[in-house]
Amino acid sequence: MSRRPASLARRFADGGSIPFVGSVQSKTRSSPLLSIGLLVVGAILLVGYLYSNSGGSSSYREAVSKIEGSVSCTLELQRAIPVLKKAYGDSMLKVLHVGPDTCSVVSQLLKEEDTEAWGVEPYDLDDADTTCKSLVRKGMVRVADIKFPLPYRAKSFSLVIVSDALDYLSPRYLNKTLPELARVSSNGVVVFAGYPGQQRAKVAELSKFGRPAKLRSSSWWIRYFFQTKIEENEAAAKKFEQAATKRSYKPACQVFHLKSFP
């Protein structure tokens, strides 16, 4: 009859209570388990340290994202806010963000001088923290299905920024959503989209996003913009590139600058 292996904690306690107890063979057998256990504990402590010293859940998500090797264009957008401010100037006065974790983006934008911000969360806010719930109560963040018309009047915002949302839409719904983003903006739309081959939604997230991310190449997007008569904002793209170069900033996601509707 085989013995059930003892727990790691018990082995450690038994071996540590009386010095030099146990054969060399048992020590060798427990060594891999100890190594794995210490590695897991070290990773947990590292994430906890980054969380406690970075001041919030967005930094925690960023740390976890880096450890898992995935890419979040919403986190990338938050890194790019100073570059966007430099490139768009006064167009950053009234900003609408569309995408998951919009509460963290809106909170960061509100810290910028002379910037008002609103957000549309395309998915549920079941795990919202107190700050996010406060933004929802104030009407600054709302949950809305972006496959349908947005609940805003034309040109309600100077700039619309979308991240981690269009990658999950089929062309059928993109044909409705992108024109809506252009409709509610007066000075342009900025799209943060993933690169083909990047690791994105896990299987556990499919229930939230509804489908796996469809990461498209830049040539696909450019062809799509042309076919749908959505013009790229070359002047804004050039300013963004210049500001990024000065700050030694290299986006981990594709960034497209589009014009609003006349």
Burial 130-160 (b: 16+ CB within 10 A, else e): eebeebbeeebbbeeebeeebebeeebbbbb
Q: What is the mean pLDDT of residues 127-139?
A: 91
Which pLDDT value is given to residue 156? 97
Q: How confident is the model at residue 40 (pLDDT cuts 50, 70, 90)?
A: low
* Per-residue model confidence (pLDDT) at position 57: 42
pTM exceeds 0.75 = no
Q: What is the pLDDT of residue 50?
A: 41
Q: Please report the pLDDT score of residue 208 as a whole number.
A: 53
Taking residues 82-95, what's their average pLDDT? 95
CATH of 73-258, one of 3.40.50.150, 3.40.830.10, 3.40.309.10, 1.20.210.10: 3.40.50.150
Indicate the domain borders of the chain.
73-258
CA distances from 127 to 52, 57, 183 (A): 19, 11, 31
Residue 21 pLDDT > 50 = no
What is residue 8's predicted lDDT score, i.e. its pLDDT? 40
Cross-strand bridge partners of residue 189? 160, 258
